[in-house]
Structures are given as C-alpha cells and as structure tokens.
Amino acid sequence: MKRRILLGLFGLSYLGLALWAFPDIRQTIRLHVLSWFGAASTGGPTIAEDIFLSQFRPDPMLKTRQTILSHPFIPTVEFHGHLFTSPTSDPPEDILTRMDQTHTSVFVNLSLFTSTPHSYQKLVEKQPSKRIFHFVGFNWKRMSEGPDFAQKMASDLEQIAKMGGRGVKLWKNFGLMQKYEGKLVTLDDPRLDPVWDVCAKYHLLVAVHTADPPVFFLPVDEHNERFEELGRRPEWSFHKPGLPSFDDVMQQRDRLFTRRKDVTFVALHFGEFAHDLSRAQDLLDRHPNVYVDIAQRIDELGRQPRAAREFLIKNQNRILYGTDGLPDPEKLKIYWRFLETDDEYFDYFPAGTNRKGVWKIYGVKLPPDVLRKIYYSNAARLLRIQ
Ligand SMILES: [Zn+2]
C-alpha cells in the first residue's frame, strides 16, 4: 500500500514536471492555483513568456517633455558626412538643398575609399561646391606595386593636396584588415611615414575611423548589449580568430598620434571611447593634435548625460559635430535635441530605423558658447574657413 502511494506520488510529480515544461500549461496552473487562494483572476488571453528581442519595442508609460527642434542653435559644419555609400555612386543632385533644409553650412564628405588624383578630380567636377569638402582615402592599390609603395601613395596624396584637397579619411580596414604581403599593416607602421609627411606639409586633416565599439570585439551572446544589432549585421563582429584586439588597435593608433605630432587627427566616433569618458579624456590629454567627433555616439553619451555634459564642456575646443550620413532632418533633430535640451528618456534613432542597444538617452543642454564651438567654429578653424 505504502509502495503504491509512493509510486502514485512519483507518477503525479513526474506528470506535473512534464506539464510544467509547457509555458501555456505552466501559466494556467499558476493562475488556477493562485485563484484558489483568491490571489489572482483566471481567464483572458495567455501571455507569451518569451518574444524575440528584435520584436521587443515597449512603449514607455513615462510622460516626459518632448522638445521638437526644427533647426539647430546655429548653422553647422557637418564634419562626418557621407555623400554616398558605394564608391561607384554619384552625389545626390539635391545635396545643397538638403544642406539648406538642415541648416548645414558646410559638409565634409568622408565617403571616399582608396583614392587617386584622377578619382578625386572626377568627384570634384561632379560636386564642385565650395561648401563641400571631399576627404580622400590613401591609394592603397599602390601596395601591390612593390616595396616603394609608400612613396607612390605619398606622391598621389601630394597631387591631391595641390589640387585643393583638404583632408584624408581612413577607414577601419586600416589596422584590422589592410595587409602587405600577407601581414597586417599597423596604424603606426613607419613605412608609411612619407604619406604622413605629405599630411603634415600640406596641413591635411586626417579623419581616422579606428576599430569600432569594444563590444564588437566580444562574444555575441546573452551578455553582449549589442546582441540584436550584431545578430542583424554579423559582419560587424570582430570576435574572430586572427584579428587584433580592440586595445591592440587603439594602442597602434595612439602610438601614431604620439609619433606624428605634426599631423592633426580627428579620431572619428568619439575616438571609440564614448563608452568610457576617462579613457576619452586621457586620449585628448595625451595628444594635443587630436580632436573627436560625436557621429554615431550620442547613444553612448546620452545614456550618461551628466558625465557627458561635463566632458563636452571641459573639452569644448576639441569636439566636432558630425552625424555620419546625408543631411537627414529626422536624424539631425535627435542630435540637436541631445545637444541643446535637457529632455529625458528619448530614442537616439529615428522612428522606424534600427537601434543599437535597448536603451534611451537624455539631453545635455550645452551652454550657447559651447554649442557654437561644437556646431561650427572648431571645425571651421580646422578646415581654415570662416
Ligand atoms: Zn562614417
């Protein structure tokens, strides 16, 4: 008898455990048990226990002030613009209209990859406006032409400088993927000195995008706060064998900044330290020849608004406004709101576009003098315009 009771209890608990594995049944049992004790009501639709992260778009119940800015505090220099996304595309014909609509006085086009004097000339003919600066890439193709590649790259760049080129854009392939004879070329490779000499001689500004946020170098798993984004764009993950680490690439870059004090650099995307402002401060303190832009980093700055405000005010002469793309009113309004208001808990991306991580941002409401420098005068000084 005792044995039969025990066997029965065992069978029941086994069945209970098996049923408990089904979320719908688990939910129903929980609600019924609680309702027996008068602690819950039954009925209503079942609630999914899990949904895909990409589908999780909660509507906040928090009611906050919504400041809609139709224009920035003053007309701006877009220091991190892109006229096109592929090397074969043409600049949009209405670019000047778009600039006017978004109060962009001057636009720095950082779209060019490997550039030659000929490709630069062609682009300037297509889009000759004095309000647009086309920064060029190094002519990496020269690397396949033998050991004097750096002299050839330098001479190409010198021709571009003589044609009026004002700056260089370096992409993240430099440091992570660019190879010479099968070996990665480091950012501080001394063989490139002839090219840096041209940058120094002609006062070419060097806008350098090195690496990406450090979270892109970590495993893409449940601990990765950019999981959703990296799942969508797996090619952005640098957590792969054979690639240098985030810190390796940063150290190469910073050695270059130290070694070439005669060149002015803009470390794009806040020098990749928007997530760690003490490191960003150290970067600026150690390298007086370095500036940073805010493009694509208001998501990081805006989730630490007090520290970010302090940083932006303290380093107000070294920060540039940039938004990474064509003048897009919906996107730019968010940058203006971040810089100019103290609005709370808002999205850092326009409605209907992809997010980076599941968080919101807060405005830093910078003082007018600081806004003037970030929006316009810091970049104007570097570009030698009024
Ligand atoms: Zn960019």
pLDDT in tens, 294-347: 999 999 999 999 999 999 999 999 999 999 999 999 999 999 999 999 999 999
Query: What separation in Å is there between the alpha carbon of 29 and the centre of ligand 1?
Result: 53
Using the mean position of ligand 1's atoms as its centre, give its distance from the Cα of residue 212 in Å. 11
Ligand 1 center from residue 323 Cα (angstroms): 8
The rounded Å distance from CA 84 to ligand 1 centre is: 10
Where does residue 78 rank: exposed (0-12), middle (13-18), buried (19+ CB within 10 A)? buried
How close is the Cα of 111 to the center of ligand 1, in Å? 7
Q: How far is ligand 1, taken at its centre, from the CA of residue 81, in Å? A: 7
Give the integer Cα–Cα distance in Å for 48 and 335: 36
Whose tokens are 């006085």? That residue is 105
**Cα–ligand 1 centroid distance for 268 (angstroms):** 8
Spacing, Cα 110 to ligand 1 middle (Å)? 7
Amino acid at 372: R
Provide the whole-model pTM.
0.92
CA 173 to ligand 1 centroid distance, Å: 13
Residue (of 297, 368, 363, 367) closest to 66 by Cα position: 363
E strands, the chain, where?
Answer: 76-81, 104-109, 132-134, 167-170, 179-180, 183-184, 205-208, 265-267, 290-293, 319-320
**What's the pLDDT tens digit per position in 40-69?**
888 888 888 899 999 999 999 999 999 999
CA of 99 from ligand 1 middle (Å) equals 17
CATH topology of domain 76-383: TIM Barrel (3.20.20)
Could you tell me the distance, in angstroms and rounded to a whole number, from the CA of residue 105 to the centre of ligand 1? 19
Cα 324 to ligand 1 centroid, rounded to whole Å: 5
Q: For residue 166, what are its two tokens?
A: 């004002």
Distance 286 CA to ligand 1 centre (A): 25
* 241 Cα to the center of ligand 1, angstroms: 26
pLDDT of residue 273: 98
Identify the three-state secondary structure at position 79.
Answer: strand
Tell me how far the alpha carbon of residue 172 lies from the centroid of ligand 1, in angstroms: 10
Q: Identify the segments of the chain with pLDDT beneath 50.
A: none
Centre of ligand 1 from the C-alpha of residue 169, in Å: 9
Distance 133 CA to ligand 1 centre (A): 14
Centre a 10 Å sphere on the Cβ of residue 83 and count the other Cβ atoms it contains: 22
**In the sheet where 132-134 sits, what is the strand order?**
76-81, 104-109, 132-134
80 Cα: distance to centroid of ligand 1 (angstroms): 6
In the reported structure, the alpha carbon of residue 302 is separated from the centroid of ligand 1 by a whole-number distance in angstroms of 19
Using the mean position of ligand 1's atoms as its centre, give its distance from the Cα of residue 82 in Å.
Answer: 7
Question: Which one-letter amino acid corresponds to residue 124?
Answer: V
Ligand 1 centre distance from Cα of residue 380 (Å): 19
Distance 193 CA to ligand 1 centre (A): 25
**Nearest 10 degrees: CA dihedral of 351, 357, 358, 364?**
-70
* The pLDDT value given to residue 232: 95
Separation of 208 CA from ligand 1 center, angstroms?
Answer: 10
